[in-house]
Amino acid sequence: MTDGQVRGTVDTLLAESLKELALRQPIEKITIREITDKAGVIRPTFYNHFQDKYELLEWIIVTELIEPIRPLVENGMVHEGLVLLFTNMEKNREFYIRAGRLEGQNSFENIAQQCVERLLITEIGKRAKGKPLKYAWLTPEWIARYYAHTMCFVAVSWLRMGMTVSAREMAEIYRYIIERSLDEIMSEL
């Protein structure tokens, strides 16, 4: 095994350990010792890979949710990317519902929003490169922040409601809201 394969294997072991533990107790109460004991590795191994359990949670989000949708977003297939993102959350339903309850400075919503924002900044930045801004403040970073915030708000709201509608329907709800002005939505009610 190469160093990269070993690293990936250990990262996966730690991630699976955190996910299993999160089914029994809130993430904020899970200790690094519990994660490493469950994964069958020593504590220093954890710190060779992650700074803390929140960085491990970020790795899970990036690996399971962000990276699979990257090719779709890169090809302008954002709606399909959202369907895949919600579908991947559904596959690990109990973990994501519990992770969605994590609040505060290291909330699931904040971590996920930063991950989505990085993806969108990259893609929006590629498309905007060399083009003049319509408004000085309407930068790729601002646009990425706005859409990351709205996407994560919808996703976390879905988690907190118990994922009672399908992944496809959530993507449709997001599309419905984002493609209409507030005036249009209010007139349709």
Percent of the chain exceeding pLDDT 90 equals 86
Structure confidence by residue, pLDDT tens digits, 88-135: 999 999 999 999 999 998 999 999 999 999 999 999 999 888 888 888
Asked whether residue 61 carries a pLDDT value surpassing 80, the answer given is yes
- Better-scored residue on pLDDT, 100 or 136: 100
**Cα distance between residue 82 and residue 60, in whole Å:** 17
Q: What is the CATH number of domain 3-50?
A: 1.10.10.60
Residues 6+ apart with CB under 8 A from 171: 79, 82, 83, 86
Give the pLDDT band (50/70/90) at residue 7: low
Asked whether residue 3 carries a pLDDT value surpassing 80, the answer given is no
pLDDT for residue 4: 52
pLDDT mean over 175-179 = 93
pLDDT for residue 65: 97
> pTM value?
0.91
